Amino acid sequence: AQSVSQHNHHVILSEAASLELGCNYSYGGTVNLFWYVQYPGQHLQLLLKYFSGDPLVKGIKGFEAEFIKSKFSFNLRKPSVQWSDTAEYFCAVTTSRGIKAAGNKLTFGGGTRVLVKP
Amino acid sequence: GAGVSQSPSNKVTEKGKDVELRCDPISGHTALYWYRQRLGQGLEFLIYFQGNSAPDKSGLPSDRFSAERTGGSVSTLTIQRTQQEDSAVYLCASSLVSGFTDTQYFGPGTRLTVL
């Protein structure tokens, strides 16, 4: 079974600092990769996703992530954070293939809480 | 349009009681998922429904947990004889279909506390 690990549980940084959150997964086959974000008091929402093609994926709010297959990694980055980026970030993977696959269940990492100080 | 809704938003119950949690997916979404998030942990998959197909129950932690989806829309997750380790936030998600390119949209969750 696949698993996902996020290296940092808590990150504290100042506005305008650069952010990089690590995500590694363990699965030998083809994966689909996601970053979700949960802002305080809000629903979990999708930041970006990777299925195939260009391994550098751009998402909403200036976030991007790079899939490095050889390292089983999908790290999330933002060059300059804002106070409004304070949230919990979750990396997730699926290994289902095809519309008729038995579900597209997500396997999540433990999450990283990011606090951006104004 | 309306997103995924869940009720109740909070539920406090005593150990041994049964609870029912409800999920209303986005209209037209055929796939529905239940996850739970225990304190300090990531989300764990519980169960998945796709149209009229048999649900994938592979994530249910024990036979005290069950779920149904009526009419291909609303879903209810039932936990019988609740235990303290059942305390968690229970999240529902829906997607248009179940293909790997389909984004899952999450509801606000139900926070269950078992005393």
**Residues B83-109 pLDDT 10s:** 999 999 999 999 987 666 678 899 999
Name which of B57, B98, B111 to mutate to probe chain A: the one with the most chain A Cβ atoms within 10 A of its Cβ: B98
Query: What domain range is B24 assigned to?
Result: 14-95
**Residues A36-58 pLDDT 10s:** 999 998 989 999 999 889 999 99
* Structural class in CATH, domain A3-117: mainly beta
Residues of chain B with C-beta less than 8 angstroms from the C-beta of A87: none
Query: CA torsion sign, A116 to A69 to B95 to B112?
Result: negative
Is residue B5 included in any domain, yes or no?
no
B13 Cβ neighbours under 8 A, 6+ residues apart: B19, B82, B112, B113, B114, B115
**Residues B10-47 pLDDT 10s:** 999 999 999 999 999 999 898 999 999 998 788 999 99
| Cα–Cα distance for residue pair B111/B91, rounded to 1 Å | 9
Please give the tally of structural domains in chain B: 1
Write the DSSP assignment of B11-74 as a string of letters.
EEE-TT--EEEEEEPPTT--EEEEEEE-TTS-EEEEEEEETTSPPB-TT--STTEEEEEGGGS-
A4 CB within 8 Å of a chain B CB: yes
Is residue B37 included in any domain, yes or no?
yes
A 27-86 near B (Cβ less than 8 A)? 32, 36, 43-46, 49, 51
State chain A's mean pLDDT as an integer.
Answer: 90
Domain ranges of chain A: 3-117
Is residue B31 included in any domain, yes or no?
yes
Name which of A44, A46, A60, A89 to mutate to probe chain B: the one with the most chain B Cβ atoms within 10 A of its Cβ: A44
Query: Which pLDDT value is given to residue B52?
Result: 80
Give A59 or B103, the one with higher predicted confidence.
Answer: A59
A1 CB within 8 Å of a chain B CB: no
